[in-house]
Structure 1
């Protein structure tokens, strides 16, 4: 039987409750069988001081989703040449998992606005469905994406939590614990991250 996988790309620096709520909503209230958190590796071309090493971000996602059997952590992009593009990841996944899996993209409405600038976006749309969740943001989605037969809008909760906000406030000494899955908070605290 064909397994339908939603790919949720991000740096997850750190993964927070907003990410979990979106991923869980997408897998529970659409026809997706699983959602994979695809952790974007640190680009060797633009090392950001605030971006934790790949394995730490993977570990935090892994810890966050322990109790959610339909959610998976993926390090598939860690082994791909950098800089990497989504189209390359999709081709690689297709080769690795063959015909038993159908891969779809999850993206926020804000990302859909710039989708026409993605490398080989036409090929992505030709071969993959896109599940869009709402975001509070300005700007317009191009008309061709508004009623495209492969783009589905999922009425998920609007999450206005950002990893940037969490890092900044944590560094400032604010209590950000409620914004993080408990296991992620413990890992972050033990490792003294984002201080």
Structure 2
């Protein structure tokens, strides 16, 4: 049975920080694959800086196509919105549960508000969490500090964000080294984040 780490995000755009963390997890933990689950654009929020779902998925595809252990996923695009992580996990288990064991990947700062997630207790009962470090002032609640389902992974700390990339690209800065080559090509060709 394959252990699949689910790395959720808008990936607007996917960048080298995402790739380094995902690759670290498949090479230095017991995960067999990492699936980048592209979060769909909420029909209730029209955030102008958020590219259309298919463009963000295409960039994840371009970034991962040469890495057999890293895969793009648009699984949430067809789920009812607004969606919750627990719904995605249940859906994936129903669809792939016989061959796959799913786990969640998250930054340490997300543990601060994890108790506010829908059915977080069920998630903790049924799924392992792989938590990578982030520089943050956030205090992790005591209940999550030594939980048996929470695996802290000593991945490199990547202080790079999609927001920074978008802002600097719009300002005319060279952000090319922060993106996988194919992602830069797609972003440049489509003229994204410039206006």
Q: Counterparts in 2 of 1:108-127, with a 5 A limit?
A: 108-127=107-126
Residue 112 (structure 1) shift: 1.0
Post-superposition, which runs of at least 4 consecutive aligned residues in structure 1 deviate over 4 A?
A: none
- 2:153 is matched with 154
- 2:92 is matched with 93
Residue 99 (structure 1) shift: 2.0
- 2:34 is matched with 35
Output the aligned Cα RMSD: 0.5
Residue 98 (structure 1) shift: 2.4
1:119-178 alpha-carbon deviations (Å, 9 max, x no partner): 000000010000000000002101110100000000000000000000000001010000
Scaled by the length of structure 2, the TM-score of the pair is 0.99
Q: Counterparts in 2 of 1:11-160, with a 5 A limit?
A: 11-160=10-159
1:61-98 alpha-carbon deviations (Å, 9 max, x no partner): 00001221100000000000000000000000001112
Q: Counterparts in 2 of 1:178-189, with a 5 A limit?
A: 178-189=177-188
Equivalenced residues, count: 194
Residue 57 (structure 1) shift: 0.3
- 1:163 is matched with 162
- Secondary structure of 2:35's counterpart equals strand
In the alignment, the residues of structure 2 paired with residue 76 and residue 53 of structure 1 have an alpha-carbon distance, to the nearest angstrom, of 15
Residue 52 (structure 1) shift: 0.4
Question: Which region of structure 1 is more displaced relative to structure 2, 13-22 or 97-106?
Answer: 97-106
In the alignment, the residues of structure 2 paired with residue 173 and residue 155 of structure 1 have an alpha-carbon distance, to the nearest angstrom, of 34
| Unpaired segments ≥5 residues, structure 1 | none
Q: Counterparts in 2 of 1:5-16, with a 5 A limit?
A: 5-16=4-15
In the alignment, the residues of structure 2 paired with residue 23 and residue 113 of structure 1 have an alpha-carbon distance, to the nearest angstrom, of 21
In the alignment, the residues of structure 2 paired with residue 66 and residue 139 of structure 1 have an alpha-carbon distance, to the nearest angstrom, of 35
Residue 39 (structure 1) shift: 0.1
